[in-house]
């Protein structure tokens, strides 16, 4: 299956190869990168796609966050991607304010995993 090709992002920054070219990502990792970017985008901020995005940023640093709401949002975004096998999607809490999303792109041999720490940047 052709999942597409895009710029490779690490920590939301474009990655360059040693010779100065922009590194690319494709295959199942491309699907994971796209889902990660949707989860980090607030709905309405992209001029060309006002409907794209997620409420995940609302959960950041919220000590009263409902675990079920976070899990539901992670799973909703993954299932909404047509390249993902909906039966493979599962999310859960892995620690205090830490979550993991696992899914398999259609035809992929192994699942992709994304981890989210919603306490990052929290002030004490």
Backbone angles phi, psi at 22, to 5 degrees: -80, 130
The pLDDT profile of the chain, 124 residues, written as one tens digit per residue, is: 889 999 999 999 999 999 999 999 999 999 999 999 999 999 888 888 888 899 898 888 777 889 999 999 999 999 999 999 999 999 999 998 899 999 999 999 999 999 999 886 544 4
What is the assigned CATH class of domain 5-17+28-117? alpha beta
- CA-only gyration radius of the chain, Å: 15
What whole-number distance in Å separates Cα of residue 9 and Cα of residue 11? Answer: 6
Could you tell me the residue ranges of all domains in the chain? 5-17+28-117
């Amino acid at each position: 299956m052709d999942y597409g090709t895009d710029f490779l992002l690490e920590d939301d920054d474009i990655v360059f190869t040693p010779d100065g070219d922009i590194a690319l990502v494709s295959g199942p990792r491309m699907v994971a990168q796209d889902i990660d970017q949707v989860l980090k985008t607030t709905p309405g901020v992209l001029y060309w796609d006002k409907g794209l995005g997620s409420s995940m940023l609302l959960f950041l640093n919220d000590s009263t966050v409902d675990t079920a709401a976070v899990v539901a949002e992670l799973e909703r975004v993954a299932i909404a991607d047509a390249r993902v096998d909906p039966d493979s999607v599962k999310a859960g809490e892995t620690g205090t304010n830490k979550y993991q999303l696992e899914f398999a792109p259609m035809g992929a041999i192994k699942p992709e995993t994304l981890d989210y720490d919603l306490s990052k940047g929290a002030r004490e």
